[in-house]
Structure 1
Amino acid sequence: MKLKVGLLALGISLLMQINVYSQDSDFYIYLCFGQSNMEGNAQIEAQDTVNIDSRFQVMSTIDCSDMRRVKGEWYTAIPPLCRCSTGLTPVDYFGRTLVAGLPENVKVGVINVAVGGCKIELFNKNNYKSYLETAPGWMRNMISEYDGNPYGRLVELAKLAQKDGVIKGILLHQGESNTNDSLWTQKVKVVYDNLMEDLGLNPKEVPLLAGEVVNADQDGACASMNSYIATLPEVISNSYVISSLGCPQRGDRLHFTAEGYRILGKRYGEKMISLLKD
C-alpha cells in the first residue's frame, strides 16, 4: 500500500514538473483591447504582410475558416490580428518592433479583443450586460463573435496563453466613445484591476500602455479626450501614455491611416522595450 501511495505521489510530482516546464519564460505575451483603432480600421497593404518574423505570434480570438485559424491557437502574426476581416492595427507594428529590438531567443505573442465603437464599459465584467442592452445592432453583431462577452473572451484566452508563456503587458486603445468622460480613468482602472485579479498578475510587473486618440495636430474629432488619457498614470501607477502626435488620420478625424498605425504601433513597441530594459 505504501509503495502504491509513493508511486502515486511521484507521478503527481512529475506531472506538476511537466506542467511548470511547459511554460516558456522567453515567450512574452501581450493582451490588447479597445475599440475600432485597436481593432484595426485601415486597409492592410502589401508591405504589412511580408517579412514578418515567426517569433511574432498571434492567438486567434475567434474561428476564421478563410484564414484557417482556430480560436485559441497560435499563428505567425500576419494581419489581420483582431477578427477575420478587420484591418491594420497598432498591434501589428508593436509586435514587429519588439521582435526586432529584443534578443533572438524571445518570442512575442499578442491577443487582440476589440470592438469598434464600444465604450470602456463593455469591458467591465460586472456591468457589461447593461451596456449591451443599449448597444446598436451592428455592434452587437461584433460582440456576438466573442460569445457576447469580450472581456470574458480576453481572460479565457489569456489563461490559455499563460500555459505557453508569460504575460508581460497590456495595450489599450480606447476613448473616442468616452470622449470627455471624467470617470474614464477610473473605469479603465476597474478593467485593469480585474485583469490582474482574474489572471493572477502582479500590477508592478504588468504595465498598461494606453494610446492617444487622433491628435489635435491632425484635427482629431475626439482630441480633447487626450487630456483625460494623459492623467491615466495618476490612477494606475504602472501605466504609460503613447503619443499620437503626427500620426495621420484617414479623413474621418477618428481613425488613423495605415501609416498612422505603423507609427503608433512602433511607439507602443519602443516604450515596452524601454520598460523591459529598466
Structure 2
Amino acid sequence: MRQKLPAILLIGFAFAASVVTTGRSEETKIPSKDNFHLFLLVGQSNMAGRGKVTPDDQVKAPKVLMLDQQGKWVPAVDPMHFDKPKMVGVGLGRTFGLEVSQSDPGVTIGLIPCAVGGSPIKSWEPGAWDAPTKSHPYDDAMKRAHRALEAGQLKGILWHQGESDSRAGQAEIYEQKLRELITRFRKELNAYDVPFIIGQLGMFEESPWTKSKKQVDQAHQEIAKSDEFVLFVSADGLTHKGDKVHFNAESYREFGKRYAKAFLEFKEKVSQN
C-alpha cells in the first residue's frame, strides 16, 4: 500500500514546480544605465520572427536581455515577440544581440521587441489601431521604449517592414511615410544620432518582385543613401520557410548577424571621426 506524502512535502514540490514553470518571467538584475545598451525592434512579422524554435534558441545568455510582455527584463530567448503568439518564432533580434554583445563584453544588451505581424506603415503612426492584433503598434512601442529607457541608453533602432505596403496605391507613398516615421522616432526618443537599421525584403526566386515591391525596396535604399544615420542591410541569399514570405530560422540568424555587422561598422566609423 502506497504511503501518503506529508503535506509539507507536497507544498514543497508545488513550490518547486512553480519556480520551474515561471522562471522565464523572473526579472533579471540589470547593470548601470551607462552599461545597458538598448535596441528597439520594430516592423512587421519578419522582424517579429516566424522561424522554427530549437533548444539552442532558448539558451540564456547573461549579457543579452529582452523586455518581456509584462515589462520585465529577462534573458533574451526565442520567441521574443508576442504579436501573434500562435505564429511567432525565431527572429533576427536574439542573434543580433549576441553578436553585438560579443564585440563589447563590458556592456549588457537590452532588446525591446515591438514588431507587429502584418502591420502596414500607416499602423506606425500615433493613435493608429491594428485590428488583427488589437494593438496600437506605434503607441505601444513608444510606451515600452520609454519604460526601457529608464534603465538604459538607446543605441539603435532595427526596422523590417514593407511587405504589407508592396501594393499599388501604397508603395508610391512608402518613402514619404518611412521618412516621416524615422523623424517621429528620433524626436520621440531623442535619438537623432542613433542608427536606424533597415533590413531588405525577402528576395526569393519562387516569388519574383512586383513593381510595388521594387518601389518599397528602392525607398529603403534611397533613404539609407541620403541619411548618414540610416543603414541598409541586404537580404541577398536568404531563403524562406516555405511560404514565400517569411525567412526560415537559419536565414533569420544570418540576417541578425548582418544587422549586427552594419551596426558595428557604423559604430567604428563614428568612433574614428
TM-score (norm 2): 0.78
Residue deviations 1:37-56 (CA, integer Å, cap 9, x gap): 11111111222222x42110
For residue 34 of structure 1, what is the aligned residue in structure 2?
Answer: 43
Task: Report what 2:136 is aligned to.
Answer: 149
In the alignment, structure 2 segments of 5+ residues that lack a partner are 1-30
> How many Å separate the matches in 1 of 2:201 and 2:61?
28
Task: Tell me the CA shift for residue 91 of structure 1.
Answer: 0.8
Q: CA deviation at 1:220?
A: 5.2
For 1:114, give the aligned amino acid. Answer: A
Partner in structure 1 of residue 187 of structure 2: 197
- Say whether the 8 Å CA contact 2:204–2:239 is kept in structure 1: no
The runs of 4+ residues in structure 1 deviating greater than 3 Å are 216-223, 234-237
CA contact (8 A) 2:204 2:240 kept: no
Aligned residue identity for 1:112? P
CA distance in 2, matches of 1:34, 1:23: 29
Aligned to 1:117: 118
The question of whether the paired residues in 2 share the 8 Å contact of 1:214 and 1:220 is answered with no
Deviations 1:215-268 (A, max 9, x none): 155645565342332212245441111100011111221110101101111100
Cα RMSD (Å): 2.0
| Equivalent residue number for residue 106 of structure 1 | 107
> How far is 1:161 from its partner?
1.2
Aligned 8 A contact 1:185 1:235 in 2 = no
1:56 and 2:64 matched: yes
Verify the 8 A CA contact 1:221 1:254 in the aligned structure 2: no
In structure 1, what residue type is equivalent to 2:257?
Answer: K
The match for 1:15 is none
Contact 2:204 / 2:244 at 8 angstroms: preserved in 1?
no
AA partner of residue 149 (structure 1): H
Question: Per the alignment, in what secondary structure is the counterpart of residue 146 of structure 2?
Answer: helix
Q: Secondary structure at the match of 1:213?
A: coil
SS in 1 for 2:114: strand
Does the residue aligned with 1:125 lie in a helix, a strand or coil?
A: coil
CA distance in 2, matches of 1:221, 1:250: 17
1:95-244 correspondence runs (5 A): 95-102=97-104, 104-125=105-126, 128-129=128-129, 132=130, 140-142=131-133, 144=134, 148-179=135-166, 181-201=171-191, 203=192, 205-217=193-205, 219=207, 224=214, 225-234=216-225, 236-244=227-235
Q: Which runs of 5+ in 1 are unaligned?
A: 1-21, 63-70, 133-139
Separation of aligned partners in 1, 2:208 and 2:98: 27
How many angstroms apart in 2 are the aligned matches of 1:125 and 1:170?
A: 18
Tell me: CA distance 1:110–1:221, structure 2 relative to 1, closer, same or farther (3 Å): same
Contact persistence 1:23–1:163 (CA under 8 A): no
Give 1:8's aligned residue: none
What secondary structure, in the 3-state scheme, does the structure 2 residue paired with 1:171 have?
A: strand
Contact 2:40 2:113 in 1 (8 A): yes
- The equivalent of 2:80 in structure 1 is 81
Residue equivalent to 2:7? none
Q: How many Å separate the matches in 2 of 1:228 and 1:211?
A: 12
- TM-score when scaled to structure 1? 0.77
Whether the 8 Å CA contact 1:124–1:190 is kept in 2: the answer is: no
- Give the secondary structure class of the aligned counterpart of 1:75: strand
CA change 1:53–1:194 in 2 (3 A) is: same
Residues 189, 227 of structure 1: CA spacing in aligned structure 2 closer, same or farther, 3 A cutoff? closer
* 1:93 is aligned to 2:80: no
What is the Cα deviation at residue 163 of structure 1?
A: 1.4
What residue number does 2:5 align with?
none
Q: Tell whether 2:254 aligns with 1:263.
A: yes
The size of the alignment, in residue pairs, is: 230
